[in-house]
Amino acid sequence: MAGGAVTELSSGKMFGGYNKRYKHYSNTLGCSMNFHIYFPNSDSNKSFPVLYWLSGLTCTDENFIFKSGAQRAASEHGVALIAPDTSPRGLNVEGEADSWDFGVGAGFYLNATQEKWKNWRMYDYVVKELPKLLSDSFPQLDTSKASIFGHSMGGHGALTIYLKNLDKYKSVSAFAPVANPTNCPWGQKAFTNYLGDNKSEWEDYDATHLVTKFPGVSASILIDQGEDDKFLHDQLLPGKFEEACKNANVPLLLRFQPGYDHSYYFIATFIDDHIRHHAQALRLN
């Protein structure tokens, strides 16, 4: 498949719009990649703002589209949903599938610097290649009006990408994000392998560190966190991010939800709030 060529794999109608899955060859990652777009219902020729969803560990481009129920609110607010995959696939790098929290399905939305993992460049894929592909291939999408959100590892990705690209995204939100990866086992494992031992490079992909470096955040950051999430205290560390936001005077709405865990049941429960949060920012900017 030539770079830039997009092939439609499937299409299904939902809430008046369409879930469509596509395949293309990524020059950034060196392999074919799948992604989903939910196009809202529209009787006009107007273009839709885009809202990128970044999924968590072990996920693909399908989990969010199948499980979140986000399409109802997206259709209501006229926002297109973009769901990319979480890592390169099919490269057959030795060890890429040895553990669930590293390698395939665990790209951590960074640009790896270690030679073995040189194709793991999900940051560039999400920030640069995919938006250009969407702009070139889908005239009904207005990629100049974009926001970003995600879950767990994808929440980490959404926060870090937003903070490093305030000119590209109108708003950000997250469900149970890995908020301080330099201080948790998931992050330390991934960063050591992808980035090496230079801890200053790690901080470049840690929202708790980044939020103090980019004081231009004006839109409120929305985070929902389940109180019964088994990963809350050792992996996610939202309190560290909350403290950093306070010190940097960055507006943050951190909501702890009693009884909820880390699953898509939790995401589906509060997804409409997040869609509204982004729809408002996309309309106002």
CA distance 184 to 98: 20
Q: Give 283's contacts (C-beta < 8 A, 6+ positions apart).
A: none
Contact assessment for residue 213 and residue 200, using Cβ atoms and an 8 Å cutoff: no
Please state the length of the chain: 285
Contact assessment for residue 269 and residue 70, using Cβ atoms and an 8 Å cutoff: no
Question: CB-based burial of residue 218 (10 Å sphere; 0-12 exposed, 13-18 middle, 19+ buried)?
Answer: exposed
262 as an active site residue: the answer is yes
The three-state secondary structure class of 26 is strand
Contact assessment for residue 93 and residue 137, using Cβ atoms and an 8 Å cutoff: no
152 as an active site residue: the answer is yes
Contact assessment for residue 30 and residue 13, using Cβ atoms and an 8 Å cutoff: no
Which of 26, 152, 171, 173 is labelled catalytic? Answer: 152
101 as an active site residue: the answer is no
Q: Which residue has the tokens 């990319």?
A: 84
CA distance 9 to 173: 29
Which of 262, 274, 277, 278 is labelled catalytic? Answer: 262
In this structure, the strands spanning 80-84 and 48-54 are parallel
Which of 87, 229, 277, 278 is labelled catalytic? Answer: 229
Q: Which residue has the tokens 């392999």?
A: 31
Catalytic residues: 152, 229, 262
